[in-house]
Structure 1
Amino acid sequence: MFAFSASLRCNELRLTSLLVLLTSALLSALGTLIALRLGRRLGLVDTPGGRRQHTGPVPRIGGLGLFAGFFGVAVWLYLFGPLKPEHRLPIAGLLIGTVFVFLFGLADDRYEFKAAPQFAAQIIAALIAITATVWIEEVTLPVFGFQKFPWFVTYPLTTLWIVGMMNTVNFLDGLDGLAAGVGGIAALLFGAHMMFKVDQPQIALYALAFAGACLGFLPFNFSPARIFLGSAGAMVVGFGLAALSILAPARVATALLVMAVPIADTAWQIVDRWRRGQSPFRGDRGHLHFRLVDLGWPPGRTVLMYWAFCAAFGALSLLTDSRLWKLISFLILIAAVGGLLAALSAKNTTPPNEPDSK
Structure 2
Amino acid sequence: MKEIILLFLCFFLGIAGAWTLIRLGEQIGMTDLPNERSSHNKKVCKGGGIGILFAIMIASFFLKIAHFLWLPALGISLASLWGGDRYKLTVKQRLFVHFGCGIYFLLFLSETIKIGGDFYLLSIPLALLFIVGTSNFYNFMDGIDGIAGITGLVGFLLLANYGIRIHAAPNYITFCVCICASCIGFLFFNFPRAKVFLGDVGSILIGFVFSCLTIVLANSAMDFLIMAGFIFPFYIDEISTMVIRIKDRESLILAHRRHLYQLLVNEMETPHWLVSVGYGIFQAIVGLSLMTVKPLGVSAIFSTYFIYSMLFIVISLLVRSKAHAYK
TM over 0.5: yes
Amino acid at match of 1:42: I
Offset, 1:21? 2.8
For the pair 1:221 / 2:190, whether they are aligned, the reply is: yes
For the pair 1:202 / 2:178, whether they are aligned, the reply is: no
Deviation per residue, 1:72-101 (Å, 9 max, x gap):
1222221xxxxxxxxx6xx21110111111
2:11 and 2:183 in contact (8 A); partners too: yes
Q: Residue 325 and residue 150 in structure 1: after superposition, are their counterparts in 2 closer, same or farther (change >3 A)? A: closer
**Number of the residue aligned with 1:356:** none
For the pair 1:46 / 2:46, whether they are aligned, the reply is: no
Q: Residue 232 and residue 197 in structure 1: after superposition, are their counterparts in 2 closer, same or farther (change >3 A)? A: same
Q: Residue 263 and residue 226 in structure 1: after superposition, are their counterparts in 2 closer, same or farther (change >3 A)? A: same
Task: Please give the TM-score of this superposition, normalised by the length of structure 2.
Answer: 0.89
**Number of the residue aligned with 2:95:** 119
> How many residue pairs were aligned?
320
1:40 and 1:59 in contact (8 A); partners too: yes
CA RMSD of aligned residues (A): 2.4
Deviation per residue, 1:127-155 (Å, 9 max, x gap):
1211221699434xxxxxxx614343022
Q: Secondary structure at the match of 1:176?
A: coil
Deviation per residue, 1:146-204 (Å, 9 max, x gap):
x6143430221111111111122112101111011101111011112112332431221
**Number of the residue aligned with 2:58:** 72
Amino acid at match of 2:274: R
Separation (CA, whole Å) in 2 of partners of 1:30 and 1:204: 24
For the pair 1:35 / 2:21, whether they are aligned, the reply is: yes
2:13 and 2:182 in contact (8 A); partners too: yes
Q: Secondary structure at the match of 1:220?
A: coil
For the pair 1:254 / 2:220, whether they are aligned, the reply is: no
Q: Residue 150 and residue 327 in structure 1: after superposition, are their counterparts in 2 closer, same or farther (change >3 A)? A: closer
The answer for unaligned runs of 5 or more in structure 2 is none
Offset, 1:285? 1.0
For the pair 1:187 / 2:163, whether they are aligned, the reply is: no
Deviation per residue, 1:292-323 (Å, 9 max, x gap):
22223222111110011111222233444333
Q: Secondary structure at the match of 1:189?
A: helix
Separation (CA, whole Å) in 2 of partners of 1:307 and 1:19: 27
Q: Residue 350 and residue 242 in structure 1: after superposition, are their counterparts in 2 closer, same or farther (change >3 A)? A: farther
The 5 Å alignment of 1:338-349 reads 338-345=313-320, 349=324
Q: Residue 183 and residue 109 in structure 1: after superposition, are their counterparts in 2 closer, same or farther (change >3 A)? A: same
Separation (CA, whole Å) in 2 of partners of 1:246 and 1:168: 17
Say which of 211, 214, 218 aligns to 1:242.
Answer: 211
Say which of 73, 85, 89 aligns to 1:109.
Answer: 85
Offset, 1:114? 3.0
Say which of 283, 287, 294 aligns to 1:310.
Answer: 283
Deviation per residue, 1:235-288 (Å, 9 max, x gap):
111101101111112553333332222211111122222233333232211001
Amino acid at match of 2:89: F
Offset, 1:125? 1.9
Q: Residue 351 and residue 159 in structure 1: after superposition, are their counterparts in 2 closer, same or farther (change >3 A)? A: farther
Q: Residue 201 and residue 270 in structure 1: after superposition, are their counterparts in 2 closer, same or farther (change >3 A)? A: same
Say which of 85, 108, 129 aligns to 1:160.
Answer: 129
Task: Please give the TM-score of this superposition, normalised by the length of structure 1.
Answer: 0.82
1:188 and 1:211 in contact (8 A); partners too: yes
Separation (CA, whole Å) in 2 of partners of 1:134 and 1:279: 35
Say which of 231, 235, 243 aligns to 1:263.
Answer: 235
Separation (CA, whole Å) in 2 of partners of 1:222 and 1:104: 26
The answer for unaligned runs of 5 or more in structure 1 is 3-15, 79-87, 140-146, 353-358
Separation (CA, whole Å) in 2 of partners of 1:274 and 1:116: 20
Separation (CA, whole Å) in 2 of partners of 1:215 and 1:149: 40
The 5 Å alignment of 1:127-138 reads 127-133=103-109, 137-138=113-114
